[in-house]
Amino acid sequence: MTAPAPTVPAADPAAFDLTDPQTFLDNDPHRMWQPFREHNPVFWHPARGERPGFWVLTKYDDIMATYRDNKRYTSERGNVLSTLLLGEDSASGRMLAVTDGPRHREIRNLMMKSFSPRVLAPVVANVRSRTDQLVAAAVAKGELDWVTDVADQVPIHSIGDLMGVPEEDREQLVDWNAQTLSRYSAEDSETESLMARNEIIYYISSLLAERRRDPGEDVLSTLATALIDGVPLTDEEIIYNTYSLLLGGDESSRATATGALLAFSEHPDQWRRLKNGEVGLDSATEEVMRWTTPTMHFGRHALTDVPVREHTVRAGDIVTLWNASANFDEDAFADPYAFDLGRTPNKHVSFGHGPHFCLGAYLGRVHLTALLEALCARVADSEVLGEPTRLFSNFGHGWSGMRVRLTPEQA
């Protein structure tokens, strides 16, 4: 089960342009990040053209400390490279992910009520039923595109149920989501990503108008009718936070659903362990989350000078936190390059950490656990046919296509 660490010589950090999604298609992430953790755990990424330079943190402990520190770092000027490099985020102070302080706590506490296991119980039941049906249909086909036929379908329906999104609109939302923080290929322009974001926001605005007139029991209705200190949320707060939930929950769950099947194809011994009941669904879910790391990075701006190892992050500097590196840190995980479904403990950072820990983490785990359960029940074996197509992104680690052949479990 032990996997050797990549043996790669120290690299010049400046040789890798982390602002360019092509970097993550051209380089194996293990071979790219391991020498940085060893030789350059904290380094300054130089400016590229009009884009400013920024700090890159690659060690688990440094990243965890930064996630926890909401006194010396802020998310309000962006939390991903696409907005951090602009120096601002248009949703600042209105969307939970880019809001700090008391307002963040107030809105988060409000939204947490809609994401408690008790409230989500009927959604969870629907996730398990729908996922089992999707996998059954996939097995019946035999050969299929796993991404479009299964992975794309699992999260959007549960999030759609939560938001009260009509079923006939959900496929379009999946397509828009895939183009927002990621792109299908280098041929797609950033303008298309911007247009997709605008389409989602316009769509949510129309739904909000309907909920204002006729509220239901969905999350959007909860936000539309909620009061904080007797004052309703603004339309912008409701729209931006609904957008964030729709985008985050869909993107990460689609990635883990595909990453799981790909990992089983590459590590058949682990598939057999899961299939035979040698490892449990809970630990398997956490290991797939770690192994896949669907969100490669998050980021912050420093509010004051902060010492990090032998460096000083200056007030105003951008700091990026690379989950894709932290989840394979040799000092945090025993034998990190082994895909081990029985791994415990497994304190990965795939959902972030600290005050901005992912609100939809519970639902993300539900999606993946339901998928693993359905695979174990209905699939004897799987084979990936050809090279999967990766998304063009420096933020989301995912796939736009993966042909597979599924062998059904004998009754």
pLDDT tens profile 166-216: 889 888 887 787 777 555 555 656 778 788 888 989 999 999 999 989 988
Give the relative orientation of helices 235-266 and 101-112 as an angle to the nearest 10 degrees: 70
pLDDT confidence of residue 111: 85
pLDDT confidence of residue 160: 84
Residues β-bridged to residue 390: 399
Overall number of domains in the chain: 1
Using DSSP's 3-state secondary structure scheme, residue 125 falls into helix
Which two three-digit tokens encode residue 285? 């879910």
- Please, are residues 119 and 367 in contact by the beta-carbon 8 Å criterion? no
Beta-carbon count within 10 A of 331 CB: 10
pLDDT confidence of residue 295: 95
- Give residue 360's pLDDT band: very low, low, confident or very high (50, 70, 90): confident
For residues 192 and 60, the model is more confident at: 60
- Give residue 1's pLDDT band: very low, low, confident or very high (50, 70, 90): low
- Give residue 348's pLDDT band: very low, low, confident or very high (50, 70, 90): very high
Give 3-state DSSP helix, strand, coil % of the chain, rounded to 5: 50, 15, 35
Residue 283: name the closest of 342, 328, 334, 337 by CA.
342
Tell me whether residue 214 is in a domain: yes
Tell me whether residue 186 is in a domain: yes
Beta-carbon count within 10 A of 205 CB: 15
What are the Cα distances from residue 238, in Å, to 93, 211, 230, 252? Answer: 12, 11, 16, 22
Query: Could you give the percent of the chain with pLDDT greater than 70?
Result: 94
What are the Cα distances from residue 64, in Å, to 40, 207, 270, 293, 302? Answer: 17, 37, 29, 15, 15
**Of all helices (H) and strands (E), which one includes residue 118?**
helix 117-141
What are the Cα distances from residue 190, in Å, to 180, 197, 295, 313, 401? Answer: 9, 11, 19, 30, 21
Tell me whether residue 44 is in a domain: yes
d(CA 189, CA 183): 8
- Give residue 327's pLDDT band: very low, low, confident or very high (50, 70, 90): very high
Tell me whether residue 401 is in a domain: yes
Tell me whether residue 2 is in a domain: no
Mean pLDDT over 326-336 rounds to: 97
- Give residue 245's pLDDT band: very low, low, confident or very high (50, 70, 90): confident
pLDDT confidence of residue 12: 78
d(CA 108, CA 356): 9
- The reported pTM is 0.91
- Give residue 112's pLDDT band: very low, low, confident or very high (50, 70, 90): confident
- Please, are residues 385 and 327 in contact by the beta-carbon 8 Å criterion? no
Tell me whether residue 4 is in a domain: no
Residue 297 sits in which domain range?
13-408
- Give residue 146's pLDDT band: very low, low, confident or very high (50, 70, 90): very high
- Give residue 222's pLDDT band: very low, low, confident or very high (50, 70, 90): confident
Residue 66: name the closest of 309, 279, 228 by CA.
309
Residue 123: name the closest of 217, 210, 214, 242 by CA.
217
Tell me whether residue 1 is in a domain: no
Tell me whether residue 141 is in a domain: yes
CATH classification of the domain holding 169? 1.10.630.10
Q: What is the DSSP string of 49-111?
A: TTBPPEEEE-SHHHHHHHHH--SSEESTT-SSHHHHTTT--TTTTTSGGG--HHHHHHHHHHH
